[in-house]
Chain A
Amino acid sequence: MSEQTLTTNGKIAATLTRKDFVSDQDVRWCPGCGDYSILAQVQKVMPDLGIPKEKIVFVSGIGCSSRFPYYMNTYGFHGIHGRAPTLATGIKTANPELSVWVITGDGDALSIGGNHFIHAIRRNLDIKIILFNNRIYGLTKGQYSPTSEFGKKTKSSPMGAIDYPINPLSLVFASEATFVARSIDTDPKHLSSVVERLARHKGSAFLEVYQNCNIFNDGSHKHFSEREVRDDRTVNLEQGKPLIFGKDRNKGIRLYGVKPEVVTIGENGVTVDDLLVHDETAPEPNLAYILGRMQYPEFPVPIGVFRAVHKPTYDALLDEQVSAAVTAKGAGNLEKLLNSGETWVIGPDG
């Protein structure tokens, strides 16, 4: 079991539509930006979740992606650079009944906000994090980001970036994430299905979306994300199924020791039974980690749900401690608190 069953209020779920989640603000992303697709899929999924919109909060940091909350007709908090997970922590722990979402980018989450990002995930706080990875700083007009490829020439790296990029998935596995997924802005069907899985996970849920910045880093993911090549250059992870990909569904991933390799079914005696079978519920994230590091062109890029396991959430544990303290000591009594410890009385005669 990897999904929670949300309490659905039939009435509300039935009456809400995608339009109810569209705010009155004009969307100001550049025409052609991949952000539009993500916004559309999130707005599409929202009514199906059965959560009243007043109980939904979108929180963001700084960057193009972080304008997202303004366009959702829910509660929203546009924070400061890299710090959205901290606001989300306060909102969710103060009121665990809220559905709290963090919208972030590669610079916001992995550079300036790296510390908050890993710790929010580590605590298994019940929040949903969507990272728009366009491998560039767009809002500041085109500097390299922590996911930009080595050697990338940008405004701030005219001779090529000498930073080695970080792999977001490796980082979230190291942070003990309980839900990890990846999708692509140009594949709306896949994207909406993964967003829905993300929404229904109880615990820190992380989704990386490969998103195109058509102004400063156009085509960054196109080698595997475009419709014509996608089947051959990505592999869709499905629970309990072997890793098969390709237009002809004849290629697969086999594990050789701890190294993945691409094989062709029917060649050199390879059968479907030789292929790696995906298990998102594996207690240890080791295999998911290996998959998360597979990159084009050596490998097809895995998309889908890498990991979905369960453990108690921080917000629920904190609430339990409050209840346990009330059970053990009784509800707080201010009079008793003020009069605790050694006290003495001075009478009118001193």
Chain B
Amino acid sequence: MDTPKLKDQATPRHQLEELDAVTIRFAGDSGDGMQLTGTQFTATSAIIGNDISTLPDFPAEIRAPAGSLPGVSGYQLNFSSHDIRTPGDEPNVLVAMNPAALKMNLKDLEPGGILVVNTDAFVESNLRKAAYETNPLEDGSLSGYRVFKLPITSLTMGALEEAKLPHKQMERCKNFYALGLMYWLFDRPLEPTLKWIDQKFSKMPEVALANKLAVKAGYNYAETTEIFTTHYRVVKSDMKPGKYRNITGNEATAIGFIAASQLAGRPLYYGSYPITPASDVLHELSTHKNFGVKTFQAEDEIAAVGAALGAAFAGNLGLTGTSGPGLALKSEFIGLAVMTELPIVIIDVQRGGPSTGLPTKTEQADLLQVMFGRNSECPVAVVAPATPSDCFSMAIEAFRIAIKYMTPVVYLSDGYLGNGSEPWEIPSIESLPRIEVKFRTEKAGFYPYLRDERTLARPWAIPGTPGLEHRIGGLEKQHITGNVNYDPDNHDFMVRLRAEKVARIAQDIPLLEVSGEPEGKVLVLGWGSTHGAITTATEQLRAKGTSVSSAHLRYLNPFPRNLGEVLSRFETVIVPELNLGQLALLVRARFLVDAISFSKVKGLPFKVSEIVKKINEYL
């Protein structure tokens, strides 16, 4: 569904107009608290029942020079009265706290959109840092937008006279002032944020007071002045009945793995080394030790996976997490996990690369690394959540597969999923799958590399079990006995057996579902975080009567067993990916289909309109 434009109302003050959906972007210096402003607006919108989707976009530098272009931090959110899956293509509203933020973000604002600027920041030095030759507030370059020029800094300072805080600290409350303005403009309650401020700053009552004053002052200013003629209401969404919370992908990942541990009845062991954008998983898990979770901040990426593998040998759910560069370092250990056939899960929250690349930006370019980036024939299972809330379900899936098949599993998230958020319908415990753990204790007939007939899994025999003392390692194993063995035929057999074991996981995962007609002209095939944009694009086109279907892979190795058949039912298969065509390469190789790769590597997710345009080329 198209987002209606905000109409300028030439009516008396404070008309209330109802809208379907709005996209706001808050942009400012990385020290201006834009992420906080965005998450507060998100939380409030979620609580009042809107559907939401968010896109935080921030620089890798903690504090690039104040006022500079590289220091701009943004937070975009789409809130709606109907079902939405993306943070919106073009913001309807842009809040720019300084010239650099304006410069970096104006190009995305919809024509005629609302632009709120903090005029106090438009001074000579800041204009120079943003490479403006003339002041855009005065040179007419903003005439295509509805510009609201507000001295937000001085208004904030004025409102905080009674707060006893140093000048600098008062100035830092200006993001809450801007939040207050937006709360009025979009008819949101202040209470959730006021409550949050009280909790967050309970030990700093002066700061709490100042922030509360700022948010209220912003709200009151908008209400009492005639600066905005209209304010808008986005009523609550017609979401499925149920209990909801707002959740980011990284939070859902962390609690998903805790759930896996609870469902398996075995402790979770998380070895990790700090890396953007995966560190939040470590932070979150380290606060849940009361679930028996052990977190180990290792000396490096290699130690993190090594400890996870050691913990798996000892009978824990061994988990490690990282991003692309860290995954490269873990490769040799993943090979050892394949050889020793132990159940570990490796989280890869992908980011822009190669090398250090774009640490805070999103990308999907590690797919081939996780598939093939190890020495020799080294198959692992690969799963990929499609949305922030799906991170929860796929975390459980990852361990269900790892344990059942005694294999490492890679869990491919990305920066957009990890940091993005959406409402999550909280599942009931009863609805979650059980994860069966069967440690071998039977001494008679035990060999370390015995095979389960159906899954080909070997027994999980953990240290501490009397009579099952055995040795495993990275050298080739003799079938059944697990003894070191260099026989050519045995090696050939074992290489094929390890491949077959991973391939057999296909018997244990759901079939690929197609949205739209089951056959026809165009199928859009995606994986991972492109789900929102692809689904929205194809639904929009179908609503206009076009024959276009979509399918989304959450299991990448092995593929769902009907994938080849699904692909064969369409004339054209388009594969949008945030890489140069990695899934497209895999499906072309596997199924001999002439899949068309649609790639983008800008560190940003697809816009719905980009995918619509691409599909239209083939209709």
Contact = CB atoms under 8 A, between A and B. Distances in A.
B10 to A, nearest CB: 33
A54 B468 contact: yes
B311 A93 contact: yes
Nearest to B287: A325
B238 A350 contact: yes
B243 to A, nearest CB: 5
Given A54-B463, A346-B240, A322 B289 contact: yes
A350 B468 contact: no
Interface in B212-239: 236, 238-239
Given A98-B464, A337-B288, A119 B473 contact: no
A115 B298 CA distance: 11
Interface in A293-346: 318, 321-322, 324-326, 328-332, 334-335, 337-346
A52 interface: yes
Nearest to A53: B469
A54 B484 CA distance: 21
A55 B241 CA distance: 52
Given A75-B469, A115-B300, A332-B288, A87 B243 contact: no
Interface string A102-124: 00000000000001100100000
Given A89-B307, A97-B464, A338-B255, A346 B473 contact: no
B313 A90 contact: yes
A229 interface: no
B298 A91 contact: no
Interface in A219-234: none
B310 interface: yes
B306 A329 contact: no
Interface in A19-40: 23, 25
Contacts of B298: 86, 89, 119
Given A75-B470, A332-B290, A87 B307 contact: yes
A322 to B, nearest CB: 5
B241 A347 contact: yes
Contacts of A55: 463-464
A282 interface: no
Interface stretch (A66-74, A129-137, A235-243, A252-260): A66-74
Given A55-B464, A342-B245, A342-B246, A87 B313 contact: yes
A347 B240 CA distance: 8
Nearest to A23: B471
A77 interface: yes
B406 to A, nearest CB: 15
A337 B258 contact: yes
Nearest to B304: A86
B494 interface: no
A10 B335 CA distance: 42
B12 interface: no
A334 B462 CA distance: 26
B258 A334 contact: yes
Given A25-B483, A338-B426, A350-B236, A91 B290 contact: no
A9 B255 CA distance: 41
Interface string B294-317: 101011101111111111111110
Contacts of B466: 52, 54
A79 interface: yes
> How many B residues touch the partner, as a band?
35 or more
A348 B315 CA distance: 44
Interface in A54-100: 54-57, 59, 62, 69-70, 72-80, 83, 85-95, 97-98
A231 B484 CA distance: 42
A286 to B, nearest CB: 25
B471 A76 contact: yes
Nearest to B238: A350
B243 A88 contact: no
B294 A94 contact: yes
B82 to A, nearest CB: 11
Interface stretch (B42-50, B159-167, B359-367, B533-541): B42-50
Contacts of A62: 474
Contacts of A74: 469
Nearest to B262: A334
Given A87-B306, A119-B299, A334-B262, A322 B245 contact: no
B307 A346 contact: no
B290 A115 contact: no
Contacts of A83: 302-303, 306, 332-333
Nearest to B306: A86
Contact of A94 (B299, B311, B335): B311
Given A77-B473, A335-B429, 19 more contacts: A57-B463, A75-B469, A77-B310, A83-B303, A83-B306, A92-B310, A93-B307, A93-B311, A94-B269, A116-B302, A119-B299, A326-B289, A331-B291, A332-B262, A332-B293, A337-B288, A338-B255, A344-B47, A346-B243
Interface of A: 23, 25, 52-57, 59, 62, 69-70, 72-80, 83, 85-95, 97-98, 115-116, 119, 318, 321-322, 324-326, 328-332, 334-335, 337-348, 350
20 contacts: A23-B471, A54-B463, A54-B468, A76-B471, A76-B473, A79-B336, A87-B307, A87-B309, A89-B298, A90-B307, A90-B311, A91-B311, A94-B294, A98-B314, A98-B464, A119-B298, A332-B293, A341-B245, A344-B244, A346-B236
**Shortest Cβ-Cβ A-B pairs, 3 listed:** A90-B310, A78-B473, A86-B306
